[in-house]
Amino acid sequence: MPKTTFTTVAHAPANLETTVTSRDMSFTLDEPTDLGGTNKGMNPVEALLGALGACKCIVVRSFAAAQGIKLNDVKIECSGVLDPDGFMGKNPEAKIGFSEIHTRFHIDADNTREELVAFLEFVESHCPVQDTLSNPATSSFELA
């Protein structure tokens, strides 16, 4: 498969509530009321962690059989530490985005712990979202 371009559009027509659309699929992101939103959906940093966990779930499901993992169930918890004082301009020293991201794998499989840990090393190195977070893409922007 050649290099592929993926595109998603975000639209905030009135307030912080934002509809995210890719192909014919959409979901809503927002902020809680204490951050100025109307709490109609999770916020973008939670969605980023969700994209990360889902990407790892899909890598687990896609490669388990080929890697000798007898998988029953997979649940993945991703957490990230962020100092909102950076974003809100209260502390110029604070990092704007996440400073730490941690993934906790809950794997139900008929394998030894050693086999599972070896498989998770494979998953970590083959997850497109994790790679994007660990090895930055070039970023550019323009005003249409």
Report the nearest approach of its own copies to the CB of residue 112 (Å). Answer: 11
| Subset of 49-68 contacting its own copies (CB under 8 A) | 49-62
Residue 44, helix vs strand vs coil: helix
| Interatomic CA distance for residues 63 and 68, integer angstroms | 9
Residue 85 contacts its own copies per CB under 8 A = yes
What is the residue type of 33?
T
| Interatomic CA distance for residues 100 and 97, integer angstroms | 9
> 110 or 136: whose CB is closer to its own copies?
136
Residue 112 contacts its own copies per CB under 8 A = no
> 110 or 140: whose CB is closer to its own copies?
140
Residue 69 contacts its own copies per CB under 8 A = no
Residue 74 contacts its own copies per CB under 8 A = yes
**Count of residues of this chain found to bind its own copies when the rule CB under 8 A is applied:** 104
Residue 3 contacts its own copies per CB under 8 A = yes
Residue 38 contacts its own copies per CB under 8 A = no
Residue 101's φ and ψ, nearest 5 degrees, are -130, 130
Of the candidates 94, 95, 80, the one whose C-alpha atom is nearest the C-alpha of residue 133 is 80
Report the nearest approach of its own copies to the CB of residue 70 (Å). Answer: 15
Angle at 16 between CA 51 and CA 36, to 5 degrees: 110
